[in-house]
Amino acid sequence: MGGVFEALKGGGAAIALDEIEISILRSLAVQLLELIGPGSPEPDPDADPLAALFAGSDGPTEPPSDPALARLFPDAYGGPDTAPGADTAQLRANSGEFRRFTENDLRGRKREDALAVVRSLDGLTGAGDGAAVLELTGELPLRWLGALNDLRLTIAARLEIAEDDESAVLFRLPDDDPRKPMVMAYLWLGGLQETLIETL
């Protein structure tokens, strides 16, 4: 087991990580938490139950201005694949309504995924010189999968990588390009994500 996820007997996944890998993953997850921001507030148990039912409807109606957040929280309707002649005003209105009811919950789930990564790694920081083995069971493999995907989307947005031009951009950067470390992180996270999917 060296730097890739492998299936655990009885379910789950495991990976050996050295201190540098642990530090990088934890740092990226913390940065993702900072980018996402707080989730929706916990409902007040003493509040009116009917009001609590609609508490999630107080989310934003406009897409985020930050390109990374826009990639994490895309519009539900419209976008670059919108059919010619479509009513863009109606699509924007529909997207705004959908976002109002769903973004806070989605933001909370993405926070929980990133927090699961941080908490998992915090138990490994005293590993010493050798690699520590991280075992993910229960819901943790799916939480890690969500967080790895969000990290890759965020880095892709920062690197201005579109889905269709990934390989052309990534593999031709010279070593002295300042984006090279982010590209290496993007590729590494992709490998982790792929092997974790294979274990599931």
Instruction: Give 119-137 pLDDT, tens digit per residue.
Output: 999 988 555 567 889 999 9
* Residue 125, pLDDT score: 57
Q: For residue 63, what are the CA distances in angstroms to 5, 55, 91, 98?
A: 35, 20, 13, 11
- 22 Cβ contact partners less than 8 Å away, ≥ 6 residues apart: 121, 124, 125, 127, 132
pTM of the model: 0.81
Q: Is the pLDDT of residue 39 over 90?
A: no
Cα gap 136→134, rounded to integer Å: 7
